[in-house]
Amino acid sequence: AQKVTQAQTEISVVEKEDVTLDCVYETRDTTYYLFWYKQPPSGELVFLIRRNSFDEQNEISGRYSWNFQKSTSSFNFTITASQVVDSAVYFCALSEPYNFNKFYFGSGTKLNVKP
């Protein structure tokens, strides 16, 4: 069965600090996709990134970076020089192999960035 674990329930940092959100997943399959979504206080879910299991390259997008390591089944998300607008709940998700319509979300990490 697929499972996503985000052990950090809530993290508080001061603006400009770097912060890493952890995501560990479980799957028996070799083909799968991983995602990160952001849910700001307004409530909508915003897609951030998708990564497939064939591609272990890390990715950087502005202040955001993602570290995908199949050996440890982790897909961690780092925000560099955090800003107050980064305050949100962040979800990691895994899609079911060969049925990409089925998603499994982690319980989310609430990030508080204080000025």
Partner 1 sequence: NAGVTQTPKFQVLKTGQSMTLQCAQDMNHNSMYWYRQDPGMGLRLIYYSASEGTTDKGEVPNGYNVSRLNKREFSLRLESAAPSQTSVYFCASSEVWDRDSNQPQHFGDGTRLSIL
Closer of 93 and 111 to partner 1 (Cβ)? 93
Compute the C-alpha angle 43/47/53, nearest 5°: 140
Start-to-end C-alpha separation, the chain = 41
107 binds partner 1 (CB under 8 A): yes
At 36, which amino acid appears? W
CA distance 60 to 72: 20
100 binds partner 1 (CB under 8 A): yes
Contact positions with partner 1 (CB under 8 A) in 20-49: 33, 35, 42-45, 47
Contact positions with partner 1 (CB under 8 A) in 45-84: 45, 47, 50, 52, 54
- Do 34 and 41 meet the contact criterion of CB atoms below 8 Å apart? no
Residues that bind partner 1 in the complex, under the rule CB under 8 A: 4, 6, 9, 33, 35, 42-45, 47, 50, 52, 54, 91, 93, 95, 100-108
